[in-house]
Chains A and B, each alone.
Chain A
């Protein structure tokens, strides 16, 4: 079935440690790819996006993501996590056959310990 998978429901990292959040998708053609962050009680904020071109994309707040076509993955990374990064992170794809609709992964809750 076509889907977006974020295999980690919760991740806890120490402040200053590196972070990688995983995202895999299963659509035939490479969709547009996004990462969003959501703080409690707030809307979603776009961190970064991939449409085409360079497979390593830079986003806001020091985040980056790498698109790997062979693995159908779009993992989010940050070299040094800050306590303010604690939030829920959603991977989203816009399959080319879906028009303007996004398909979201289930989300990963990031906890940062001091």
Chain B
């Protein structure tokens, strides 16, 4: 089945230690998104790629970076994780209409 796959499902990292979360898709969608979701809150868009064009949200901290080496893969890099960055990170893909398919998420714990 075509899908969005996030690895790992659970990630524990040390305070200040860089961490990378990965997302891959078999849907061949041109748009890929990264969201941060904290407990009992709506997903918050960090950034998205439209093909190779990177679109950062104005309030996304510089600590968060992203790479999209090809259509299928997208990475979220957190350069120096703080305790406040502990959250669920959701990857999603879509075509031009915004109808998004989500991965199962990566739960990040910062210790």
Interface residues of A (CB under 8 A from B): 32, 34, 36, 41-46, 49, 51, 90, 94, 99-102, 104-107, 109
Contact = CB atoms under 8 A, between A and B. Distances in A.
B105 A43 contact: yes
Contacts, number: 59
A43 B42 contact: no
B96 interface: yes
A44 B104 CA distance: 7
Nearest to A102: B98
Contact of A102 (B4, B100, B104, B107): B100
B90 A99 contact: no
Contacts of A101: 45, 48, 98
B90 A32 contact: no
Contacts of B101: 46
Nearest to B88: A41
B29 to A, nearest CB: 10
Interface in B93-108: 94, 96-105, 107
Contact of B102 (A43, A99, A106, A107): A43
Instruction: Find the residue from B48, B55, B90, B98 having the highest chain A CB count within 10 A.
Output: B98
